[in-house]
Amino acid sequence: MSLPLPRPVGVESDEELFCLRVAGVPGELRVTSYESRIKDELSAQLPEGCELLSVSVARAGRSFQPSTATYMLAVKAEYLDDKLKATIERLLASENLNIQRKAGIKLSKVKNLDVRVFLKSIKLENQSIIVECNISFAGSIRVDEVLRLLELDEGKLASPVRRTKVQWQVNES
């Protein structure tokens, strides 16, 4: 079992990818009936409020790597001002966005990191900021880092941060 892109604590999600490796699948079983059976059995075990949307059987050796993740930051109306718009424009116009990230087992080490390459887009839509982040083997930007760059804290948000979409790459091994 694995979650290829677990969501950060305090972040809601519209969908999650859960990978489950199953050994000993009967060869005579049709894939569609097997997917249906897995979906029914897993759905019965989920807590209230969680819904299993789909199940699909992948060939052995496949793995899933995220390439982008989109987050929605619902901002309280009083903070949707020209200062926020200017901050978004400044971030998008920047060639580099250097931050310090705590690292190590006890978060005692500090690492300097340019996260600009991980910010694909930032848009102001309705009363929310939509942030699309690139994800690669080199890393990604964290939600708390995005909030810091936007000069937002949880008190300025109208609701929890929500991951609305993840783009996946399928790798064959």
Statement: residue 157 has pLDDT above 90: yes
Q: What is the mean pLDDT of residues 57-64?
A: 76
Q: C-alpha distances in angstroms, 136 versus 63, 69, 168?
A: 14, 11, 11
pLDDT in tens, 101-145: 988 777 788 889 999 999 999 999 989 999 999 999 889 999 999
- The pTM (predicted TM-score) of the whole model is 0.84
**With left for phi above 0 and alpha for psi between -120 and 50, is residue 49 left, alpha or beta?**
left
Give the model's pLDDT for residue 86.
97
